[in-house]
Amino acid sequence: MTLGRQASGAGKIGVERDRCVGAGQCVLAAPTVFDQDEEEGLVLVLDDEPSASVADAVREAVWACPSGALTLR
Ligand code: SF4
pLDDT at 8: 76
CATH topology of domain 21-72: Alpha-Beta Plaits (3.30.70)
Mean pLDDT in each 10-residue stretch from start to end of the chain (73 residues)?
60 97 97 97 97 97 97 96
**Position 31, amino acid:** P
How is the chain split into domains, by residue range?
21-72
pLDDT at 46: 98
Residue from 18, 43, 46, 48 whose mutation best tests the ligand 1 pocket (most atoms within 8 A of CB): 43
Query: What does pTM read for this prediction?
Result: 0.89
pLDDT at 37: 97
pLDDT at 66: 97
pLDDT at 6: 46
